[in-house]
Structures are given as structure tokens and as C-alpha cells.
Amino acid sequence: MKKIYLDNNSTTQIDPIVLENMLPFFNIKYGNSSSQSHAFGWEAKAAIDIAREQIANLINAENDEIIFTSGATESNNLAINGLISYKHRESKKSNIITSTIEHKAVLDVCKKVSINGCKTIYVKPNNEGIINIEKIKNLIHENITLISIMHANNEIGTIQPIKEIGKLCEDNNIILHVDAAQSLGKIKIDVKNMKIDMLSISSHKIYGPKGVGALYIKNKKRKTKLEPIIVGGGQENNLRSGTLPTPLIVGFGKACELAFNKIQSDNQRIQKLSNKLINNILDVYPNIKLNGSREHRIPGNINLSFPFLKGLSIINSMPEIAISSGSACTSSSPAPSHVLNEIGISKIDSNTSIRIGIGRFNTDKDIEIASNSIINAIRKKI
């Protein structure tokens, strides 16, 4: 049985070019980039400098604005916890605005720091999964320090109006943090043009290795001061101590360079495959529901529910197709998806929902097989 991977919003296969670039840094160029007394260290530092530039280039940042972390989860922790902790040290009142459809790695950090005079205020999306800027405007008051809104949603793929939110934040002297783990490499990110102060990104969502990511921190006015979460050797400008994982960083850099060069061709191809899959299923079952805006969504993400299945999940009837169940987004917790709930999907419909994530390495053939499997799985349930 050929397995077909259609869960690219969870993680992606490493691009072979990325892997090839990483390999020498495990067993030949294995120096510590902090060792500046010999050539092994210089070699590692030079490779990390190149990666930093490749990453900065993809989001239009400066090289020294990139802080390496272990992934977007850590970046979100450093951004939100780091900022609020710093404000507390200065004894400043600081509240947060975020959305109800953020990734848990934002929601749980906001919850954790919402003590000692820090409150988090939540803004809801509309039924298309889009956050209305007017709703944020109405929540702004003088003690809002931070607005944290994701660029693209990991379950339903919807894209938020970050540029407008950036303008709003600038006008009100509020720091804007954006979780861009799902949008990086799929839609254009320009931190300058979008007026983003902090941006969380991850390597393994863009065909790079797992265990590495970055936090972009704007350093123009140096208004974004953070308290580090991990202290020690003082690497990364004292913001994230620990020896830098050279192979992972080299891979992340290469993945960003490939994403920069391929963004258009990848998108076109992936969009075509998405349309084909949706249309194949719609042809047979016109009553399926696409969750989240069809127009404002990242290419490759398809989140479907099947109202006529009355809560029955089709996911276990097609073990050869790797997709996610929409109801258990964070697969370790079987609770109904908070995102689907927020866009008005009933519990019973959210139990039927599936998330398909098409990526760079999927083929026409994959889509054909997956369409047939899904159609057959539905047929067996009704």
C-alpha cells in the first residue's frame, strides 16, 4: 500500500537539496560557531551568517534582526513572555490583544503571562475565519502593549489582514507580534512594509529540518525589549543562550532560499492540485463544506466538513492517506477544534472535519488517489 502524505500543515518532508547542504555540518564542519580561536569555529560561523541572510531575505529583514530558536513555539514564548516579563520588570502595566483562533503556542503563553496586572483580551474572527480590523480597533486602550495575531491559520488556512493591523499598531504605539509559521514561504511576508515588530517562523513547515526556527525582532527604534527565557552563554544577542545547531540552521537557511525562489511556481502548482481535489469531491458530494474563506487562504490548505455524515469521521477508513482530523488539531488532545468552534461550526460537524495539506512534493497522481479514497470512505459511511 502506497502511503500518500497530505498533512503538510503539520510538517513537511525535508527538501533533498536542504538535506544535502546540511550533511557536512554533522561530521566534517562540526565546529562551534562561538569558538572564534580556530578555523572550525570560523567555518560554522560563516555558514550561520549565510543562513541568517537567507532567512532575513525571505521576510525583508536585516540579518541582525534574526534570533535563532528551536521553532515557532519557542519564538512565540520568547516574543510574548519575553516582552511582558520585561515590562513587568519596569513595573509597567501591559495588556495583550490576541485572537481566539491562534495556535496553542500563542494562546497558552498569553494565558501564562496573564497574571500580576497583565490581562489578555480576545478578538473573535467572523464565520469565514477572518479577523475584522474594526473589532481590534474597538478593543484598544492605553494599557495595550502587545497585539499578537497569526498571519495564516494552521487549521483553516485563513489569512489575516496583517498590513492593516500593522498600521493600526504603529498609530497606537503598540508592538505587533505575528505567528507566521503557516504563511512563511507560501505568501509574501515583508516585515518592513507590514510594520511587524516580531515574527515567529519555523523551518519544518517549509521543507527544512525540525527543531529550528527564528524570531525576527525589529531593531530600528529598539522599542522591543525582551527578557530572555533561556539564559546562559549569551548567544544570539543575549536573547537565546545555547550553542547554535549549525546543521539545522544551515538547513533552515537553504529552505528559505528555496522558498524565496520557488514561491510562485510552488503556489501555482499547489493551488491547481487543491482545486482539483476540492472539485473531484464536490462533483460527487456537493454538500460538503469548505471551512474558512476560500479566497483569503494559503495555497494547499483544505479544511472540509461533511454535514450529511452526522458526526461520523471518515479518517480511520483511509489509513493510506495521511491527513489530519479537523476535530483534534493538536492530535494529543481529542477536544473539538477551538478554531472550528470559533467560526461557528457545530460540534457534530467539526467531528466530521478533515484537514488536507498539499505540499511541494505532492503529484497529480496523489490527488487522484486521495480523491478516490475520500469519496469511497464517504460512500461507506452513508
Ligand X SMILES: *Cc1c(COP(=O)(O)O)cnc(C)c1O
> Strand 144-148 to strand 175-179: parallel, antiparallel, or no bridges (unpaired)?
parallel
Q: Restricting to residues 49-88, name those near ligand X by CB under 6 A.
A: 71-73
Q: CA dist 362 to 1, 3, 35, 311, 373, Å?
A: 17, 12, 42, 29, 16
The residue (of 179 and 197) whose beta carbon lies closer to ligand X is 179
**How many angstroms separate the CA atoms of 262 and 133, rounded?**
31
Please give the residue whose beta carbon sits closest to ligand X in the complex: 71
Choose, by CB under 6 A, the member of 176, 181, 377, 378 that binds ligand X: 181
Q: Confirm whether 329 is a catalytic residue.
A: yes
Q: Which residues of 223-245 are buried (b: 16+ CB within 10 A; e: fewer)?
A: ebebbbbbeeeebbeebbeeebb
DSSP 3-state of 295 = coil
Which span sits near ligand X by CB under 6 A: 12-20, 27-35, 178-186, 232-240? 178-186
The residue (of 70 and 94) whose beta carbon lies closer to ligand X is 70
Choose, by CB under 6 A, the member of 67, 79, 150, 288 that binds ligand X: 150
The CA-based angle 133-97-149, given to 5 degrees, is 65
**How many angstroms separate the CA atoms of 255 and 185, rounded?**
9
Grid cell listed for 321: 492517506
Beta-bridged to residue 99, according to DSSP, are 123
**Contact pattern for ligand X over residues 191 through 220, marking x by CB under 6 A:** -----------x--x-------x-------
Taken in order 104, 344, 374, 275, the sign of the CA dihedral is negative
The residue (of 80 and 314) whose beta carbon lies closer to ligand X is 80
- Residue 99 sits in the site that holds ligand X (CB under 6 A): no
- Residue 177 sits in the site that holds ligand X (CB under 6 A): no
- The answer to whether residues 64 and 238 touch, using CB atoms and an 8 Å cutoff, is no
Choose, by CB under 6 A, the member of 18, 105, 226, 340 that binds ligand X: 105
DSSP 3-state of 123 = strand
Set 110, 169, 256, 329: catalytic member: 329
Choose, by CB under 6 A, the member of 8, 33, 77, 154 that binds ligand X: 154
The residue (of 7 and 164) whose beta carbon lies closer to ligand X is 7
- Residue 179 sits in the site that holds ligand X (CB under 6 A): yes
The residue (of 147 and 377) whose beta carbon lies closer to ligand X is 147
Give the catalytic positions in this structure: 329
Name the site residues for ligand X (rule: CB under 6 A).
71-73, 103, 105, 150, 154, 179, 181-182, 202, 205, 213
